[in-house]
Amino acid sequence: MNKNFVLCASLFMSLLTASGQNVSSHKSPNLIIILADDLGYADVGFNGCQDIPTPNIDKIAAQGVKFTNAYVSYAVCGPSRAGLMTGRYQDRFGFGRNPLFAPNDPEMGLPLSEETLAAALKKGNYKSVALGKWHLGAHESLRPLKRGFDDFYGFLTGGHQYFPELWTLKDEYEVKSQFDAYKTKLLRNNSRVEETEYLTDALSREVVNYIDKYKDEPFFIYLAYNAPHGPLQATQKYLDRFKSVEDPKRKIYAAMVSAIDDGVGDILNKLDQLGLTDNTIICFLSDNGGPEKHNASNNGILRGGKGELFEGGIHVPFAMKWPKKIPEGMVYEKPVISLDIFATIIAQSTIPIKTKNILDGVNLMPYLAGQNTGVPHDYLFWRKFDQHNYASRSANGDKIFVKDNTVNFFNLNQDISENHDLLESNAPKADTLKAYYNNWNSKMKDPIFLGLGSDKAYDENHPNRYIKQH
């Protein structure tokens, strides 16, 4: 090779470094999704929390955008994650229930007809890592490595014990009942591991290691903390931060949230250390609203909580940052939904990516940059098939909540707490929302599997779901 060429190339790289530019900024942006589990809307500082400091989570909002009207596509874990991972309403493909832990059932989870965000990003030469809670299927064909991810460190079921000494089951085939799966040893890819750290700390450690591993190529990291989902368990290190909190349940919950915040700080520090901050999109959100009575979470002024289609179940804390692309301290008030994350990152790839399926989410960047002054979504929809319960809201704040044909109408701009039913004076608006919902619903599928709450009926038809198949 010509020595002068090598010298010039070296000089060019040196000048880039000296001028503070990151060579990696010329590649597709990295994406890190940090998903909390059952976090209350008012339990982060950027939404006004007073008793649980979250300085690192708050940095994401302070250095980027806070969404005040951000939603997930379902009010409980599994379906919400299916929507997030596909960029599509999960009812389009029959994921309308919380899946059971069924390692012998290839139908119990995210259908193979669906393309995950990891699988789509692979077309753009991304490396993808899933960490923590999966809950999209325990069968071998449905696990992360078969769904586009290059690495996995975590567990397959909907929850987990937090202390390693409680992980007494060596694999899924020692599980004898649904919640036994909370006691399985963690998986690294396809192998069980002996972990020694508190679960939240272990996941934070792993994400830092994977950032280091894939620092030289575009990466997608899906960090699905199971905290602060029950069981309420925290180490003394975190409990000691909340000696002034009198409610014992709230104290443990606060400690669990604080552990997440420490992990977010580790991530931000690692990105800074490696010079990756400017070219990394970070999204922080919860998978659904907080179940206030169960884990002492706080949804603030929002009505209801996890499992409900009132705002407390689906309206979540959501912040996103991408330095130099999203203005610092931005507040965006138009409705967005977790489905938008998929479409947003796909649109930023330097290698064009054609998705397998049509997305329901939209690219948020033109809206955040002021290039599009319209609304990302004219209408948003939610359905709880088994409960004959649905909701729809418009961009102008009108919302209907329907259960067993009883209709409530609210205007969220005037009454975010959904205290005042305005149906009597707004029947035509309610009819319009119902018509849009019915049109949407006509394109959805009935649930394709039985879920939590139907364990007994499922077991009658699948008596060997926990027995190893040869």
User: Other CB atoms closer than 10 Å to residue 55's CB: what's the count?
Assistant: 12
* Residue-wise burial string across 300-311, b where 16 or more C-beta atoms lie within 10 A, e elsewhere: bebbbbbbbbbb
- Out of 8, 26, 49, 77, pick the active-site residue: 77
Residue among 227, 282, 222 at smallest CA distance from 259: 227
Instruction: Decide if 157 contacts 181 (C-beta within 8 A).
Output: yes
Instruction: Decide if 383 contacts 436 (C-beta within 8 A).
Output: no
All residues at 6 or more sequence positions from 89 whose CB lies less than 8 Å from its CB, including other chains: 73, 83, 339, 360, 381, 440, 444
- Out of 135, 139, 160, 229, pick the active-site residue: 135
Half-sphere exposure for 122 (CA within 13 Å, toward CB): 16
For residue 327, whether the previous peptide bond is cis, meaning omega lies within 30 degrees of 0, is no
All residues at 6 or more sequence positions from 450 whose CB lies less than 8 Å from its CB, including other chains: 97, 100, 457, 458
CA distance 444 to 285: 25
CA distance 300 to 49: 9
Q: State phi, psi for 40 to the nearest 5 degrees.
A: -70, 150
CA distance 230 to 162: 9
Active-site residue 135, yes or no?
yes
Alpha-carbon distance values, 257 to 80, 227, 232 (Å) = 20, 7, 11
Instruction: Decide if 337 contacts 74 (C-beta within 8 A).
Output: no
Whose tokens are 């694999």? That residue is: 171
Residue among 303, 287, 327 at smallest CA distance from 410: 303
Q: Which amino acid is at 13?
A: M
Active-site positions read: 77, 135
